[in-house]
Amino acid sequence: MARDYDSQLLESVAVRRRRMRDALLFGAQRGRRTLDERLGKVFAGIAIAAVLCAGCVGWSFLQATLAKQKAEQEKQQQQQEQLYDPASSSPSADAGGEKR
């Protein structure tokens, strides 16, 4: 029985101290404090979502740019191959010669 009373007393003192500290820090507007905390969480969530969206857009842009560069390199490589070896790369000349 004595232990229950002691633990209840310690808990009530801790609760009283926490309430006094909250009253000192936040003032008498407890309801507004919870609203402010919720708004802070909402804004933090929006900021995190915006950062994630910006990251996705950046990744997509990077992938598109790299794909475009790769396509341009392949096109240039094909053009260079045609310049250095025009006879073997034109199948229409070989096909036209066989039909005659």
pTM, to two decimals: 0.48
Residue 90's contacts (CB-CB under 8 Å, 6 or more residues apart) are: 82
pLDDT tens, position by position, for the chain (100 residues)? 567 888 999 999 999 998 888 888 777 766 666 767 788 889 999 999 999 999 999 999 999 999 999 999 999 999 998 888 766 555 555 555 555 4
SS3 27: coil
